[in-house]
Amino acid sequence: MSDAPTTTTTDVLEGVDLSGRTILVTGATTGIGRETARALAAAGASVVITARSDDKGAATVAGMRDRVPGAEVSYEVLELGSLDSVRAFTDRFTAAHDRLDVLIGNAGIMAVPFGRTDEGFELQFGTNHLGHFDLVGRLLPLLLASAPSRVVLLSSGGHMASDILWDDPNFESHEYNKMDAYGQSKTANILHAVELERRYGPLGVHAYAVHPGMVATQLGRNFTPDVMEDLAARAASSPSGSGKLPPVVGTDVGAATSVWAATAPELVAQGGTYLADCAVATAAPYAMDPDAAARLWALSEELVGETFPAPDA
């Protein structure tokens, strides 16, 4: 594997003016989400972040305004593990905004003990994928009205751990494995981007899946020794790469690819791709399969109980 990536959000946005753009970043109170939002606000965008509580949201916004005087940034409370929360949020957002230029689905959980969302979905699949699936679907009218617009979904190289468990995505009969569940959810993020692009790319809404790298953030707070051993074993047996875990990078580097996906003009013709280190990268074949992407869309609609029909291009 090559040396650690070094491109930062500052490098990506040098000379970029995002004045007049409205950008939504989920899960932006910590880590790469917070750095993504800060960088975009510093470039002039009007940024809305989501937080899991008023206290966290208010503190994050205050901190960003201290670092970026004059930043146009606000917060909304959102819990992706509750479809009621997702729907209440999207209703509020749609009522308050007449445009949405970029939606960055950054929020996520990793390697958590077994649990279920409010609707009974496995916690990682339900939070990382289904919550964002419903969120994006309900905000598509704003994205379409603002086209050209973009959807950026945070995936991970961890998607290599698992394809979609088509017969049991919510671990109702399979024995639960933290990294398999995480891998499934991250594969789902890529497939979501693939199908979004197929449906809405012709109408100017382009979608991308991002691998941020291995970043030192609170996402790894559930990294027990057994999880680290599992990760190391998976890396050692990987058919690609050096067989070692990638180097850890800072949040300014980890957020760079999200910011690049949200703004780079050269990506307009490359929607539906998987990105890493500010470049188009290679995902597992099952994560880029258009038939699987369409199948996951249908399954996701069934699970969330809402349909988002393909438009006429």
Question: Catalytic positions, please?
Answer: 182
Amino acid at 34: R
> Quick one: which of 119, 301, 121 has its CA closest to 293?
301
Say if residue 184 is exposed, middle or buried (CB neighbours under 10 Å; 0-12, 13-18, 19+): buried
In angstroms, rounded to a whole number, what is the distance separating the alpha carbons of residues 34 and 276? 19
Closest of 209, 213, 208, 220 to residue 179, by C-alpha = 220
Cβ atoms of 139 and 104 within 8 Å: the answer is no
Dihedral (CA of 157, 160, 162, 166) sign = positive
Side-chain half-sphere of 266: how many Cα atoms within 13 Å?
Answer: 6
What three-state secondary structure class fits 73? strand
- CA dist 210 and 276 (Å) reads 6
- 200 and 309 Cβ atoms separated by less than 8 Å: no
The stretches of the chain forming alpha helices (DSSP H) are 9-13, 31-42, 54-67, 83-96, 123-124, 132-145, 178-200, 225-236, 251-254, 256-263, 290-304
Cα 4 vs. chain centroid, distance in angstroms?
22
Radius of gyration of the chain (CA): 18
